[in-house]
Amino acid sequence: MFDRRLFSNFDWMLFSLVMAISLVGVAAIYSASKGYDDDTQYWLRQLLWIAIGLGVGFIVLLFDLRTIGSFAYYIHAAVLLTLVMLWGYGSGVGNTSVNRWFLLGPVAVQPSEFVKLSMVLAIAHYFRDSRRVANLGLRGNFWPLVMLLVPFLLIVQQPDLGTAMLLPLIYLPIILLAGIRWRVVFAIGLAGILAIAALVGAFKFGYYQIDDKLVGQLRRGGAQQQLLADVSAIRGSRFYLISSLEKKLAPRRNGGIDPRSMQLIEEKSFRPFISKLLRPYQQRRLITFINPDQDPLGAGYHVIQSKVAVGSGQFLGKGYGESTQGSLNFLPARHTDFLFSIFAEEWGFVGASGLLLLYVMLILRGLSIIMQTHDRFSSFLLMGVISIITFQVVINIGMALGLLPVVGVPLPFFSYGGSSMITTMIGLGLILNIRMRRFLWS
């Protein structure tokens, strides 16, 4: 099943880049988690996940990709089934009110991480046939779109907007490689622009509809009498976003306003047409993305503290273990979503640039393998895996710098997380498998 001569084509440079990023991540996790109140050794757990991921990746190396491809649809269907099972058996982690994980004792498994690979595997298997590529129209993209949209909708309802939005980004390079017609690309691009315009319009022209039910909730919650009077006086009025509502209330109220009461108004009365798809906290994230200072202690807190961490690192950084944002507990989720921010604070522009250079070298190495690959299935699969890594790097670092909304996408091979690490290590195994067997297929 495994020819030892294949080791001569093993890509040690690619493997070394991944291990360098992973081990730097372990060191960063150790430093970032020092300020936590609990005694969980996240860095030690991350080493365990790396070991497990390498083990699973090695198993992937043992099989011919054509054998793996023959099970592509079954693998994707099985992962989709786990997403459906989250409705009844899913849980949140900590105090989160979401259904993204299966809790297996102390281990939390996130199926949405695995669906990225299963989708790529299924679409690559679909396009392996030469009759299905080149000059593709909407009909030729029907089944790949189904493979994309089903997990997209299942993940949106968890809710996990970050992972859901990642799926179309991964899908696009694959269909471009498959040879899609440019008018179809234009149609897809136009649909995306219209969707973004609709989202912006939802928040620009969203309104507050104060009703008796909300007033009753405020009264039962012990809201300020002045606030109750103000809200009762403006019931039925429509206002643009929270800032306009506060501006409307300002002339009427005496003194300050209870922030929690104001938050309740925002959550219960905001009614854009997109509200059925986005939860209140997601709406606030998108609003504060444009202006984090609008809610500095709420939805904008993560972004503000992250930018403070990155900026305070300056050119050479504060030194390993000297992050004030980490040790003083200013930055939440710093061992997961915002680990790059802590790393940039400790190592500065030089260290952050070095980490980015490792990712650039990794991505370019993967793309170079595509040019050497003679098998159609392998080319599409490799493009999908590289797209997963590339877009996660762009989104996570963009999120840390305040250039993109906070959506909870981990930095591959770097951020803490078992499901993410195992998934990316399987992706590494697929890339190495393609590299080792690229001369066996024509």
User: What is the rounded CA–CA span in Å between residue 114 and residue 386?
Assistant: 15
Per-residue confidence (pLDDT) for residue 160, from 0 to 100: 79
Residue 420 Rama label (left phi>0; alpha psi -120 to 50; beta): alpha
Q: Using only the alpha carbons of the chain, give its radius of gyration.
A: 24
Paired with 109 in beta bridges are: 102
Q: What are phi and psi of 91, to 5 degrees?
A: -140, 165
Helices assigned H by DSSP within 313-338:
324-327
Segments of the chain scoring below 50 in pLDDT:
1, 240, 273, 442
User: What is the rounded CA–CA span in Å between residue 270 and residue 208?
Assistant: 5
- Domain ranges across the chain: 4-205+316-437, 212-271
User: What is the rounded CA–CA span in Å between residue 236 and residue 420?
Assistant: 46
Asked whether the beta carbons of 265 and 208 are under 8 A apart, the reply is yes
Q: Write out the H or E segment, with its range, that includes residue 112.
A: helix 111-126
Tens digit of each residue's pLDDT (9 = 90 or more) over 405-440 = 778 789 999 999 888 999 999 999 999 998 887 666
C-alpha to C-alpha distances, 161 to 110, 337, 434, nearest whole angstrom: 14, 14, 31
Cβ count within 10 A of residue 5? 8
Cβ count within 10 A of residue 309? 26
The residue among 264, 163, 269 whose CA lies nearest residue 206 is 269
pTM across the whole model: 0.81
Paired with 103 in beta bridges are: 108
Per-residue confidence (pLDDT) for residue 412, from 0 to 100: 94
Q: Which residue type is seen at 284?
A: R
Per-residue confidence (pLDDT) for residue 274, from 0 to 100: 53
Tokens of 437: 């067997």
User: What is the rounded CA–CA span in Å between residue 30 and residue 334?
Assistant: 11
The residue among 361, 360, 380, 362 whose CA lies nearest residue 370 is 380
Per-residue confidence (pLDDT) for residue 77, from 0 to 100: 95
Contacts for 339-342: CB closer than 8 Å, 24+ residues apart: 339/25, 339/28, 339/29, 339/32, 339/411, 339/414, 339/415, 339/416, 340/396, 340/397, 340/400, 340/411, 340/414, 341/305, 341/306, 341/307, 341/309, 341/310, 341/400, 342/28, 342/31, 342/32, 342/309
- Given the structure tokens 């899913």, which residue do they identify? 90
Tens digit of each residue's pLDDT (9 = 90 or more) over 339-396 = 999 999 999 999 999 999 999 999 999 999 988 887 888 899 999 999 999 999 999 9
Asked whether the beta carbons of 287 and 241 are under 8 A apart, the reply is yes
Concatenated DSSP letters for 250-278?
TTT-SS---HHHHHHHHHHHB--GGGGTS
Asked whether the beta carbons of 65 and 381 are under 8 A apart, the reply is yes
